[in-house]
Chain A
Amino acid sequence: MNNKRFITEVASQTGYTNKSTQDLADSLIKIMAAQLEEGNSILVPNFGTFEVKKKNERIMVSPMTQQRMLVPPKLVVSFKPSTSVKDKFK
């Protein structure tokens, strides 16, 4: 399901037009992104948790050149589905 179909689906469920749905979705995503940027985690019941995790620096070996690289630490967004959702997809 691509973005366009997703928006259409949400629009049909909520009764908004596609355009305004896209608008609202963008705002929602921006709000979520702002929270994640702060380091907060987002709990969505019956869906899962978005949180920011820190990945430590590590040494990587390039498979092409065998050159060893030092990969810097980074912050990544992780999503952990709730147990109810997990069961749903079993």
Chain B
Amino acid sequence: MDAKVMIQDLAKALATQKSIDKKAALAFVQSFFDVILDGLKEEKYVKIKGLGTFKLVDVESRESMNIHTGERFEIQGHAKIGFTPDATLKDLVNKPFSHFETVPLADDVTEAELEAVDAQFENTISYQESDLPDDVESDSAGIETTDETVDNSDDVYQEVKSTVDPTLVSSTLSAPVASDDVEEVAAGKSSSTPVEFYPEVSYENTKTLSSSPEVEVENTDEVPVESARIASVLSEDDKSEIKPEDNQTNMEPEEEKEYLDYIDDSEESERRKIRRYEWIFGSIFALIAMGIGYFIGYVHLASRFPNEVEVIVVDTVYIEKEPVDSTKLPQTEPVIKRDETTPPLKTDTKAVPKTNTTQPAKSAVQEVKPAKPVPQPEKQPVQSAVTSDYSKYPQVAGGAYWIVGTAQTYKVRSGETIRIIAERFFGSRQMAPYIIKYNGISDPDHVAEGTILNVPKLESKKK
């Protein structure tokens, strides 16, 4: 390849091939090219079968400019030797690329887009490679949680939380995305996994969002409706899939913001990829959420006109077991109760006994449901006693620890970041959010030297 071949080499090859004298072969090659030149001189045109056509092309004189002096001068008209290879030679040389074909382009494709596609392709490849180990890790986490959820909903609740949160907060950004992936996979594999996993994530969200009144209002209304909706969903699998995704959409932007706080600059490109993934997931969830919203609205409307709702076919699975705050929404329950045949009267009687405000959770699914919409931890049925204590302090949404007070104060020294301080006190840079939250730092990236920080005392949520 790329070697240079002299006519001597050609003559040698010719001599061996035709078994003639080497000298004669060389003479022949020499005269071969000489004749081409002679022919060009005579006729300005020489065609050789198998090789191609040599042609003299006249170039007209033109003006040009000396690039150094800017002086104009004229390039004299001259003849140029052009060579057009024979078709057979052309094909032979182009053999490596012969499988390519000229393809028509769509009107809206630009050259930049073509390049972008190339780049994207490369990106996705590298992304998939880097993602692999994380995927495996969080997969196992997901499985672990499922097992435990089966027996005790309360424990599960916290268990899941602790497993999920580190990934959310963690500085390696690929982790959360990976867990998203896993959730998707798990949803396909077994119905039980997502049931626990999703609600958990969503809970954190609503917690983060709790400051906005809009969410709160929506939630309080939703509690019974939500359960109603779930009851009405025909199969358990459906339930688990639909519900969590609804919440997932809520959290998408908030969650992302949280990530961004902890991202190092070096991870910027990775973040971009992740964002794309998040966007895809987000849009999928949004679509599903829209469907759910429609359904909720339908049930809600129906609850206002109990008599007309009887048409709705609903599955009453475990409504009786679940004592729901009937004072809030007496109508919803009846609606669910009713089959086509049941009269409205029956529903009223059923609703009456359910008057206690906090209800013991019967199953993991039900337990998580009330927890999710309620923004304040006190309202959580199980943890109401404990959380009242924690609510005195700002808590990190979705964190694995409660902030229960100030352990000590610390003066920031030159060159220190919150992450470094977090590593010193808690052994991990991923604990930085606790310090940020507890001290109400608005700009965690820039903490002035000499700032006095309260280092929070932490207590694991997992008992």
A residues contacting B by CB (< 8 A) are 1-3, 5-6, 9-10, 13-14, 16, 23-33, 35-48, 52, 57, 59-60, 67-79, 81, 85-86, 88-90
Contacts and interface: CB of A to CB of B under 8 A. Distances in A.
Contact of B85 (A23, A30, A77): A77
A10 B90 contact: no
Nearest to A72: B100
A70 B13 contact: no
Contacts of B35: 6, 9-10, 13
B10 interface: yes
A73 B83 CA distance: 20
Contacts of A39: 1-2
A2 B47 contact: yes
Contacts of B89: 29, 33, 36, 77
Interface in B86-119: 88-90, 92-97, 100-105, 107, 109, 111, 114
30 contacts: A1-B47, A6-B48, A9-B38, A10-B32, A16-B28, A23-B18, A27-B14, A27-B17, A27-B18, A29-B48, A29-B50, A33-B51, A33-B93, A35-B5, A36-B93, A40-B4, A43-B5, A45-B7, A52-B93, A59-B105, A68-B104, A68-B105, A71-B102, A72-B100, A75-B96, A76-B94, A77-B89, A86-B81, A89-B80, A90-B76
A75 to B, nearest CB: 5
B52 A77 contact: yes
B65 interface: no
B50 A37 contact: no
A14 B51 contact: no
Given A26-B50, A75-B93, A9 B39 contact: yes
Given A27-B17, A73-B100, A14 B39 contact: no
B287 interface: no
A79 B295 CA distance: 74
B5 A40 contact: yes
Nearest to A32: B10
Contacts of A48: 81
A85 B102 contact: no
A24 to B, nearest CB: 6
B185 interface: no
A38 B1 contact: yes
B31 interface: yes
Q: Give chain A's interface secondary structure class.
A: mixed
A70 B103 contact: yes
B27 A14 contact: yes
Contacts of B79: 89-90
B48 A74 contact: no
Interface string B12-35: 011001101000100111011111
A13 B6 CA distance: 22
Contact of A75 (B3, B10, B97, B101): B97
B46 interface: yes
B332 to A, nearest CB: 60
Given A25-B48, A68-B109, 16 more contacts: A1-B43, A6-B35, A6-B36, A9-B38, A24-B14, A26-B50, A28-B28, A33-B93, A57-B100, A70-B102, A74-B94, A76-B90, A76-B94, A78-B83, A79-B83, A90-B78
B56 interface: yes
A22 to B, nearest CB: 9
Contacts of B46: 1, 6
Contact of B101 (A1, A27, A29, A72): A72
B51 A29 contact: yes
A40 B2 CA distance: 5
B156 to A, nearest CB: 56
A8 to B, nearest CB: 10
Contact of B32 (A28, A38, A41, A89): A28
B97 A73 contact: yes
Nearest to B58: A89
Contacts of B85: 76-77
Contacts of B412: none
A75 B100 CA distance: 12
Interface in B148-165: none
